[in-house]
Structures are given as C-alpha cells and as structure tokens.
Chain A
Amino acid sequence: METLIFLIFAALAVASSLVVVIHRSPVYATMSLVVTLFSVAVLFVLLGAPFLGALQILIYAGAIVVLFLFVIMLLNLQKEGESAGRRRGQIWVAIPGALIFIGMVGLVFWRAGAPELQPLTPELVSLKGLATALFSDYLLPFEIVGLLLLVAVIGATVAARRAPDAAEGTGLPPREDFVAEDTARKEARS
C-alpha cells in the first residue's frame, strides 16, 4: 500500500516538474509547481513528517506560489517565444549534465544496495518532539530566521515600491483636486 502511494506520487512529482521546466506559459508552469509541491507534501507524510507536509502546503503551495502567480499577472508575462540561437548551446550542455548527475547518483545507490527504511517511531512523528527540539537546541536559528523574515519583508516592500521621486505618477491627480478641477471646468463651460 505504501509502495503504491509512493509510486503514484513520485511519478506525479516527476511528471509535473517536467511540465514546470518545459511548458512555455508561466501560469501553467506555476500550476504544475503546485502539483509537484502537493506530491512532495504527500511524500513527507509517508516519511513520517506530517507537520512538514501540512506546512509545505500552507507555506509553499498556499503563499509562495500565490506570490508567483500575482507577479506573473502583474507583469502580464506572455508565453515564452522561440529560444534564440544562443540558448541552444546551453540546452545541449544542461540536459547531458543532468543525465550524468542522475547516472552517478543512481550508480552510488545501486552499489550501496537498497537499505530498508527504519520503522517509524512515535517520537519522530510526534509534534512535541519536533517542537521541543526546535525551541531548545535550535532556538538561535529560529530567532535568526525570524529576523531574516523581517528583513525580507522590509526588503521586498522597499524593492517593489515606486521610487519616491518618480516622474510617472499614478496618472491621476490627488483626490482634492478632483473637486477643484470639476468646479473650474463647470465655470469655464458656463
């Protein structure tokens, strides 16, 4: 049963990741990434980390990919055009390189045999153990990651806003001027 679930979701993960990498339209690639993230979340649960599986869906599929979609629609990205001649060389290097990498890793695992997964212990799966470890041994990284997220929020806000002295405004006059302009226009007409 577990093997069946693993095979289904592993195949789904590989297929959707291929779509992510190959498909021309950014929106389709992003939705395929959601499918990949879901499959990886299921694999996390199979590996005895249900908390991480739920977090994967909550953070990755529920927030990060939504951010990607927003930016794609904000920038109105179209489907990618035909690749220029220069890119051909990179494809010819990248794909064989990836295949060689897979081959090497496969060789390592083939030589090492197929060690069975250790049985799941309740301490590994329990949230309490994870939380205790997080807040005792790994308290410093936890705090640093919090600081990192704060810095990222500030950085993202600053990087994405319009420059304060931009020549182009929003195209509309400030709110108060509407009334003045309207009155001026009415008086000019009458």
Chain B
Amino acid sequence: MSSVPVSWYLMLAALLFAIGTVGALTRRNGISIFLSIELMLNAANLTLVAFSRQLNDHTGQLVVFFVMAVAAAEAAVGLALFIAVFRARRTIDVNRLNLMRG
C-alpha cells in the first residue's frame, strides 16, 4: 500500500496547471506562453496517470501517450509559425502581434 494519497498527486497537478495558466496569461513573450502551455499539458498528464493508477486501468496511460504525441506535433507547428511570424514582423511579443485586432 502506498502512503501517498491520490489527492496529493491531483493537488500537485492542479497547482502546476494553475502556475501554467498564470504564465500563459501574463507573459508577453510568445515562447514563454508556449512553455506555460507545455506545463499545463504536463499537469493534465499527471492527473491522467494518477487516475489510471487509482482505477487500475490502462486507459489513462494510453491517453497520456496520445497527449504527448499531440503536444509534440503542436510544439513543432507552433514554433514553425513563430519563426514565420518573426520573419514577417521581427517580433514575437504578443502585444505587438495585433494585425487582426479591431
């Protein structure tokens, strides 16, 4: 029997998710926002694995597998977009990337 309650893992995941959200909302640098999004994805993965252990089911671990693959794809495409945007506008400060505003 493990001596760490499952709620501790879930609290930790919630904490990481909240920190990631704060980062995604408050940073100006596009890459930093991306890093915070990866943090949120990791928090979700931790929740999934904790529940997979608690319910003794493989499904959670498999979903994490897929989430990792999707996160990799998203990071690749997102960073490629950042490169393209940087070439055009010479900045990735999200405050200044406001061509579609208004």
The interface of chain A, by Cβ under 8 A from chain B, is: 2-3, 6, 10, 13-14, 17-18, 20-21, 26, 29-30, 33, 36-37, 40, 43-44, 46-49, 51-52, 55-56, 59-60, 63-64, 67-68, 71-72, 74-75, 77, 80, 83-84, 86-87, 90-91, 93-95, 97-99, 101-102, 105-106, 109, 112, 114-121, 123-124, 129-130, 133-134, 138, 141-142, 145, 148-149, 151-153, 155-157, 159-160, 162
Contact = CB atoms under 8 A, between A and B. Distances in A.
Interface of B: 1-12, 14-23, 25-29, 31-32, 34-36, 38-39, 42, 45-46, 49-50, 52-56, 58-59, 61-62, 64-66, 68-77, 79-84, 86-87, 92, 95
A30 B8 CA distance: 26
Contact of B14 (A74, A105, A156): A105
Q: Dominant SS at the A interface? A: helix
Interface SS of chain B: helix
Given A10-B12, A133-B58, A95 B22 contact: yes
Contacts of B19: 14, 17-18, 20-21, 98
A68 B8 contact: no
